[in-house]
Amino acid sequence: MKKNKILVTGGLGFIGSHTVVELQQKGFDVVIIDDLSNTRIEVLDGITAITGVRPEFVQMDLKDKVHVASFFEQHSIDGVIHFAASKAVGESVEQPLKYYENNISTLVYLLKNMTKNKVPHLIFSSSCTVYGQADELPITENAPVKKAESPYGNTKQIGEEIIQDVTKVFDLNAIALRYFNPIGAHESVEIGELPLGVPQNLIPYVTQTAAGIREELSVFGHDYPTPDGTAVRDYIHVVDLAKAHIIALQRLLEGKNKSKMEYFNLGTGTGSSVLDVINAFKKANQMDVNYKIVARREGDITSAYADTKLANEELGWKANLGLEEALSSAWQWQLKQK
């Protein structure tokens, strides 16, 4: 039987690389497009070491219309998982046009080529950021999409809308996966998160502080209306997250989707505060993390965690790995970095 060939854009990034591993382990043929703007080519070796298969890789910027068009003409693709995007919230405020070009223009080209070449399935990397500070917790998929706090957040909202409009008039079915906070690394420690420069996200900052690369972690805000005063998020192991992409893709390939565009939250359903994370890290790794409490970070919300019922029932997916397992793998990954 012919294997399905799946294009993974941004397939050498953090979530992308873990998803490529799961795809290959399920027998899919994978072709990756990545411009290496926020990762390293060595990730390809990590994927190969885990799966025994070196995926086809094309180094390409999705803004390069001519090459994207010829890529689709040369490859027969059954489905696309679209990760490639810029993702730093602060940078998006400073450089909005970079975000609209990298995240929106590229999506439009991608969809033009998919519809022209009759590629019928798309999984889109979305984010819980579309909900902003939701009025009710846990957050269901029916929670209203609030005005975005940043150009980055806006690109996820607009991206979802563009795809929805396209599914209405073309033979395209899509699923938007709204991630909560992805963390951790593959258990083999062959792949993980590769933040370039000073990390903006909590977990890489924690592991770099424990490793002595950073002196001290700043805990942003201690006066939130939460049990310990620090902000609450739903941290989900990247391997659990990656697995959900394969299930969502299979749902489309088998025609089991209930509408042409579906949305699912991907989280654990459990909220953890910044101090919970620090304590879980200490427990999992027997390592201390120096930290100090500082002012809130602008644009941060108080609390977000997922209602996972829809993903549990419709996708038959749930997160299996816990916070300590994720923090242990993140630490093992940190130890491997030079």
Query: Which residues form the catalytic set?
Result: 152
Read off φ and ψ for residue 125, nearest 5 degrees.
-75, 100
Tell the smallest beta-carbon distance from residue 146 to ligand UD1 (Å): 11
Stretch that binds ligand UD1, among 169-177, 211-219, 242-250, 253-261 (CB under 6 A): 211-219
Query: Does residue 100 bind ligand UD1 (CB under 6 A)?
Result: no
Interatomic CA distance for residues 322 and 244, integer angstroms: 16
| Amino acid type, 128 | C
Query: Does residue 87 bind ligand UD1 (CB under 6 A)?
Result: yes
Site residues for ligand UD1, 147-166, by CB under 6 A, read: 153
- When the beta carbons of 114 and 275 are compared against ligand UD1, the nearer one is 275
Tell the smallest beta-carbon distance from residue 220 to ligand UD1 (Å): 4
- When the beta carbons of 77 and 139 are compared against ligand UD1, the nearer one is 139
Instruction: Find out whether 12 and 34 touch, Cβ atoms under 8 Å.
Output: yes
Instruction: Say whether 83 sits in a helix, a strand or coil.
Output: coil
Site residues for ligand UD1, 222-281, by CB under 6 A, read: 231, 233, 274
User: Residue 215 burial (CB < 10 Å; 0-12/13-18/19+)?
Assistant: exposed
Instruction: Find out whether 187 and 329 touch, Cβ atoms under 8 Å.
Output: yes
Query: Does residue 300 bind ligand UD1 (CB under 6 A)?
Result: yes
Instruction: Say whether 268 sits in a helix, a strand or coil.
Output: coil
The site map against ligand UD1 for 174-193 (x = CB under 6 A) is: -------x------------
Please state the length of the chain. Answer: 338
DSSP category for residue 9: E
Tell the smallest beta-carbon distance from residue 151 to ligand UD1 (Å): 11
Instruction: Say whether 19 sits in a helix, a strand or coil.
Output: helix
Residues interacting with ligand UD1, by CB under 6 A?
A: 87, 89, 127, 129, 153, 181, 200-202, 205, 217-220, 231, 233, 274, 297, 300-301
